[in-house]
Amino acid sequence: MQVVSPDDVESAEAEDGVYPAQLFSGEQMNVQHFRFDAGASASEHSHPNEQVGFVHRGTLTMHVEGETYEVEAGDCLLVPGGVPHAAENRGDEPVEGIDVFSPPREDTPWE
């Protein structure tokens, strides 16, 4: 078994104030930690991977297929593969959470 902390891995700034960090990658999925600084956003994008997320700090505003969702600490989200989506932190504090991608996402953090 392996154990890793987000503090043990290097995160990259994918967009201004958005920091994903690859925690583990297996044959069927990979796991990332993410942090959105106050006011930061990830522009609309899509990928073929199914994405399941869990927000453990703050509130992440998700835009998926013309709908807006407020994903609060303790909430999970699902974005089907191939569906365009965007995210933003409208709050004054960072948002942090975990994303799981299946199959493993190879273009992380993202292009």
Cα–Cα dist 42/17, whole Å: 9
Task: Report the SS3 class of residue 106.
Answer: coil
Widest Cα–Cα separation across the chain: 41
Q: Is residue 60 part of a domain?
A: yes
- Give the model confidence (pLDDT) of 28-54 as tens digits: 999 999 999 999 999 999 999 999 999
Task: Report the SS3 class of residue 7.
Answer: helix
Residue 60: which CATH number? 2.60.120.10
Q: Is residue 34 part of a domain?
A: yes
- Give the model confidence (pLDDT) of 64-99 as tens digits: 999 999 999 999 999 999 999 999 999 999 999 999
Q: Kindly state the DSSP code that residue 52 receives in the 8-state scheme.
A: E
Cα–Cα dist 88/10, whole Å: 22
For 90, the domain range is 13-102
Query: Which pair of tokens denotes residue 10?
Result: 């290097």
Domain count along the chain:
1
Q: Is residue 5 part of a domain?
A: no
Q: Is residue 4 part of a domain?
A: no
State pTM to two decimals: 0.92
